[in-house]
């Protein structure tokens, strides 16, 4: 059996019936059951499901079953992809609330760990949903990847449109960076401290602290905890006072 078809809601018995019909052409349910050595009732249930999925049909005149064009599998795949995309969007929207409930009931911080570019996307969307002031300890590596740099630029625009206040602390060694100067002058209040560049980026927003690394593989960890967020926020404010 083809395991990928199970992701489309087609089990082994249904696959067996479908591929037998693809091979044999129109046959009765009794003939189909005999050819694949299954009970007629089992075959009939499988055929009903395949009909529901649009993969087979029963001819009215002859009372036999036949497979529809296999391109119907592509339609099912596209439908399934759309459903998964919708589910992902719904989960993405509800996940912060779920983590918050877990934290309250278990008295421990919620931790979300996402690998790759999806982590940055989730973080950016969550910042917009949260709609609170954003504090950033910048990274010297966050613009090494052109695709990520474009995503950051787009996020800055989204934050500006949403009216989200942003403050950033960067290394003094980055003070003359033209990209940072351009962004800072337009949308972000930025100050500089220390000579050591940070390879990771830390963002504090609402009850969340997000830490992103920008190596060959990117990782984003979001910790949801008022206590931890307040600790990082205090650290940021202390550095902000001393920064130039």
Please report, for the chain, the start and end positions of each structural domain, with discontinuous segments joined by +: 1-108, 109-242
- What pairing do the DSSP bridges indicate for beta strands 189-192 and 218-224? unpaired
- The whole-number pLDDT of residue 164 equals 93
Decide if 140 contacts 192 (C-beta within 8 A): no
* 47-93 confidence digits (pLDDT tens): 999 999 999 998 876 778 999 998 888 888 888 888 888 887 777 77
pLDDT at residue 109 tops 50: yes
The helices-and-strands tally (H runs, E runs) of the chain is 9, 9
Strands 110-115 and 218-224 turn out to be antiparallel
Fold of 1-108: Arc Repressor Mutant, subunit A (1.10.10)
pLDDT given at position 181: 46
Tens digits of residue pLDDT in 213-229? 987 788 999 998 888 99
1-35 pLDDT per residue, tens: 567 788 888 999 999 999 999 999 899 999 999 99
- More confident position, 98 or 186: 98
Q: Can you identify the CATH homologous superfamily of domain 109-242?
A: Endonuclease Chain A (3.30.870.10)
- The alpha carbon dihedral of 150, 154, 160, 166 has a sign of negative
Q: In the prediction, which pLDDT does 234 show? A: 95
* CA pair distance 46, 68, nearest whole angstrom: 15
Instruction: Give pLDDT, residue 177.
Output: 60
Report the 3 state secondary structure along 80-114.
HHHHHHHHHHHHHHHHHHHHHHHHHHHCCCEEEEE
Whole-number Å distance between alpha carbons of 215 and 244: 29
Decide: 223 and 208 in contact? Cβ < 8 Å. yes
The residue that leads in pLDDT, 89 or 180, is 89
Whether 175 has a pLDDT exceeding 70, the answer reads no
């Amino acid at each position: 059996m083809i395991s990928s078809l199970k992701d489309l809601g087609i089990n082994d018995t249904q696959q067996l019936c479908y591929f037998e019909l693809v091979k044999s052409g129109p046959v009765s349910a009794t003939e189909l059951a005999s050819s694949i050595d299954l009970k007629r009732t089992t075959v009939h249930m499988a055929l009903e499901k395949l009909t529901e999925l649009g993969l087979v049909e029963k001819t009215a005149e002859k009372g036999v079953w036949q497979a529809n064009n296999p391109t119907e599998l592509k339609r099912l795949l596209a439908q399934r992809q759309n459903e998964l995309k919708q589910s992902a969007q719904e989960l993405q929207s509800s996940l912060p609330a779920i983590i918050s409930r877990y934290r309250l009931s278990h008295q421990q911080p919620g931790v979300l760990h996402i690998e790759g570019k999806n982590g940055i996307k989730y973080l950016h969307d969550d910042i917009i949903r949260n709609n609170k002031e954003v504090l950033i300890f910048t990274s010297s590596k966050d613009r090494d990847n052109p695709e990520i740099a474009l995503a950051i630029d787009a996020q800055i625009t989204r934050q500006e449109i949403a009216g989200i206040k942003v403050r950033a602390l960067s290394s003094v060694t980055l003070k003359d960076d033209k990209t940072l100067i351009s962004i800072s002058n337009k949308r972000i209040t930025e100050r500089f401290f220390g000579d050591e560049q940070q390879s990771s980026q830390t963002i504090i927003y609402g009850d969340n602290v997000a830490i992103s690394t920008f190596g060959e593989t990117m990782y984003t960890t979001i910790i949801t905890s008022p206590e931890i967020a307040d600790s990082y926020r205090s650290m940021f404010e202390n550095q902000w006072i001393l920064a130039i």
